[in-house]
Structure 1
């Protein structure tokens, strides 16, 4: 699946359709339109060699992660667009300065859950700390299914959309989105294949909602506001 994830990563440069303002934070789509059970392979079986290998990766990171890596992983437990503040690198990149942009990304956040949660409930992959008591997470615990990673799906989805708004920083934004997903492994709360599946899911969700009229309208207003406020 890693090769598949890398291939889909090439799609991240896709340009956004013309996309204003989200009033209510309701998802742009849900599992009725994007059924991840049809899109993704099932997670590795609990007794499989791959599961044991992935556990080994988590345990290796657990004993080699630096304080700086740990701090980033803990901070990235938040699920919002403001985690990209470091790469946008502009003091005006705040919720208060960007009400349309903020409301638009509230809908993006809701979209991730509407698509991913039903699949998690079916696959019910145990989180690493529930699979092995050797795993000591440093981020908030969750008993929801581990596969695919919702955080990674959201980080990838936000990265694709934000990089379309600010193409001048596309590489930095997408690198940050990739780190956001990887930090779920660093935090001890997800397996590598959860992250790979989340990246695939994020790209597919982005490509799908770009065709929706409400997305197009709200995207354009959010993008215009962002670029004006940032002086781009």
Structure 2
């Protein structure tokens, strides 16, 4: 048995004794979860599938399906990527490089896990059917999902990322928050959400941001991530 293999086995044994696997040890930990930010209590219940509001919202989705330009569709399809790199790439350009931003990347891994920890349980409980599962006239332009539609997870994450990034780079606050708005709108353009899903996603992202920004662990990781990003972007 070679020395590298013995080291790997030894590391795995140490992690096992600690009750961890290598995969679990590397996982990002959310800053909060659905026990703290319970969206099923904070948000109004979604409209029923046969309600006038849902019918009106489906009509809005269908209108976008006809009116969207090829450029708008391409942009919205690219926004299906649920990462801070997609969110911020158009804002910050080539300097926004994951390989050169390890502290920032690790911090935003926790942001992404936070959105999932809060939103996924709420989606399961609230159980709103996606537009294409209510009307066969709706044809999603991204991979169809059968998970709950309400609130929009992409929009929640985009809003959360936008608020945090705007606090890191206040010089571009207007552009960052416009991008957050656009990131949510992309979910309508591709026909995978209702307008009210997007609205509730924006509310959810704001509530999550306001909750975690008060926490000591958030503050401790925010400052180094901010400094690293600003240095990479050439900002004082």
What TM-score, normalized by structure 2, do the two folds share?
A: 0.87
Does 2:86 align with 1:85?
Answer: no
Aligned-partner SS, 2:95? coil
Counterpart in the other structure of 2:200: 197
Counterpart in the other structure of 1:5: none
Q: Give the conservation status (yes or no) of the 8 Å contact 2:151–2:200.
A: yes
Counterpart in the other structure of 2:161: 158
Give CA-to-partner distance per residue, 1:68-103, whole Å, 9 cap, x none: 1100111000011112111123x2211001010011
Q: Give the conservation status (yes or no) of the 8 Å contact 1:73–1:139.
A: no
Q: What stretches of structure 1 move > 3 A for 4+ residues in a row?
A: none
Does 1 or 2 have the higher relative contact order (CA < 8 Å, sep 6+)? Answer: 1
Does 2:128 align with 1:129?
Answer: no
Q: Give the conservation status (yes or no) of the 8 Å contact 1:25–1:106.
A: yes
CA RMSD of aligned residues (A): 0.9
1:19-168 → structure 2 map (5 Å cutoff): 24-83=27-86, 84-89=88-93, 91-168=94-171
Give CA-to-partner distance per residue, 1:101-137, whole Å, 9 cap, x none: 0110011000001000111001110001111110010
Give the distance between the partners of 1:94 and 1:229, measured in 2 at CA.
Answer: 8
Q: Which runs of 5+ in 2 are unaligned?
A: 1-25
> How many Å apart are 1:24 and its aligned residue?
4.3
Number of equivalences: 209
Give the distance between the partners of 1:172 and 1:211, measured in 2 at CA.
Answer: 24
Give the distance between the partners of 1:231 and 1:24, measured in 2 at CA.
Answer: 30
Aligned-partner SS, 2:184? helix
Q: Which has the larger radius of gyration?
A: 2
Counterpart in the other structure of 1:187: 190
Give the distance between the partners of 1:213 and 1:127, measured in 2 at CA.
Answer: 37
> How many Å apart are 1:190 and its aligned residue?
0.1
Q: Give the conservation status (yes or no) of the 8 Å contact 1:156–1:202.
A: yes
* Structure with the bigger percentage of helix: 2
Give the distance between the partners of 2:233 and 2:110, measured in 1 at CA.
Answer: 22
Q: Give the conservation status (yes or no) of the 8 Å contact 1:124–1:147.
A: yes
